[in-house]
């Protein structure tokens, strides 16, 4: 039996996971979004720019996804390292230079800077925590997406036991 | 009165918009997410990898945000160009080589390839539609994030009147 998505695959063979998301524009800058068979959700825009302020903006959703992605990677890596983590709180803040969206040449329309504060509750020793931080930064998909796109990325780690 | 976020700002001055998202890890790879005062939402992971499959994964959320971002940019640019758009349907599909998440050196943990099919209903002429496509690709924040991060990006535009 073939089972392509296991940890025993040779490191030289790509292990591709496929993702899908659908959107239906509903007018006034709102889009209804569906992923698999989960309840639909939406993105919208503030009234100031012509939306109905009924949902987070698309880039706010990306920023929230970054928080969720960091948490799941921290949980996964902690298990691998035998580190116990009791709680994780995350807060991401980003700036976007909206001139890019308006079409000003040479200005990126996406994140200029992303700063995330990660509060861990853990009794792990400093060496373990350093390994946890290092692996998380190397392996988190959303964090690497933002960083590879050229945004200035700052992580502030705060650990309490 | 100062009003920094208007279209009349000189093109040489950054116009920074600030975004924020908060996350609280709930265990089993699920994170509760909040943006402004909107109802909380969540990211999760399939049971196969240790989650409870209660919500889209973080990278599925990013892909959904891409759909929402493309729609709002298409709407905005269409208004600027005087083009009427009656409907927009979007479907994004992506692949991720999960070896990156597992820590295999030299493998990106995020999108390998992103392909989005955009179905427009519009009576605009081919020249107008070409201008709409070009400006959308140049100005869409989420699309440029993914592209700048090094993912192979394919857009398929389908227009019916």
CB B52 within 8 A of CB B30: yes
Task: Give A2's pLDDT tier (boundaries 50, 70, 90).
Answer: very low
B90·A19 Cβ contact <8 A: no
Q: B53 to chain A: nearest residue by CA? A: A38
Task: Give A12's pLDDT tier (boundaries 50, 70, 90).
Answer: confident
B111·A145 Cβ contact <8 A: yes
Q: A55 to chain B: nearest residue by CA? A: B38
User: Which residue(s) pair with B30 in the sheet?
Assistant: B27
CB pairs under 8 A between A and B: 318
Asked if pLDDT for residue B10 goes beyond 80, the answer is no
CB A56 within 8 A of CB A44: yes
B98·A150 Cβ contact <8 A: no
Question: B96 or B6: whose pLDDT is higher?
Answer: B96
- Of the candidates A8, A5, A40, the residue with the CA atom closest to the CA atom of residue A24: A40
A24, A25, A139 member nearest B100 (Cβ): A139
Asked if pLDDT for residue B3 goes beyond 50, the answer is no
B55·A73 Cβ contact <8 A: no
Tell me the two tokens of residue B99: 């070896």
pTM for this entry: 0.94
Tell me the two tokens of residue A78: 């902690």
Tell me the two tokens of residue B136: 């959308």
B17·A90 Cβ contact <8 A: no
Parallel/antiparallel/unpaired status of strands A152-160 and A41-43: unpaired
- Of the candidates A46, A19, A48, the residue with the CA atom closest to the CA atom of residue A34: A19
Say whether residue B123 is in contact with chain A using an 8 A CB cutoff. no
Q: B112 to chain A: nearest residue by CA? A: A16
Tell me the two tokens of residue A18: 């496929």
Question: Which of A5-14, A121-130, B37-46 comes out lowest in average pLDDT?
Answer: A5-14
B91·A11 Cβ contact <8 A: no
ipTM of predicted complex: 0.93
Q: What is the mean pLDDT of residues B144-154?
A: 98
Q: A143 to chain B: nearest residue by CA? A: B110
Asked if pLDDT for residue B9 goes beyond 60, the answer is no
Asked if pLDDT for residue B151 goes beyond 60, the answer is yes
What 8-state DSSP symbol labels residue B85?
E
**Contacts A3 to B, Cβ<8 Å:** none
Three-state SS at A79: helix
**Contacts A8 to B, Cβ<8 Å:** none
CA geometry: angle B122, B125, B130, nearest 5 deg? 90
Say whether residue B83 is in contact with chain A using an 8 A CB cutoff. no
């Amino acid at each position: 039996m073939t089972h392509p998505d296991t940890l025993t695959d040779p490191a030289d063979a790509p292990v591709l996971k496929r993702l899908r998301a659908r959107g239906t524009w509903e007018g006034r800058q709102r889009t209804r979004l569906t992923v698999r068979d989960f309840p639909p959700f939406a993105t919208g825009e503030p009234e100031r720019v012509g939306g109905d302020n009924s949902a987070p903006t698309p880039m706010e959703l990306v920023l929230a996804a970054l928080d969720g992605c960091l948490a799941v990677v921290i949980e996964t890596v902690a298990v691998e390292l035998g580190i116990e983590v009791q709680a994780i709180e995350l807060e991401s803040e980003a700036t976007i230079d909206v001139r890019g969206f308006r079409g000003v040449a040479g200005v990126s329309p996406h994140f200029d800077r992303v700063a995330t504060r990660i509060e861990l509750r853990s009794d792990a020793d400093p060496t373990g925590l350093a390994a946890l931080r290092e692996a998380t930064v190397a392996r988190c998909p959303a964090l690497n997406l933002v960083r590879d796109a050229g945004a200035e990325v700052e992580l502030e780690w705060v650990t309490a036991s």
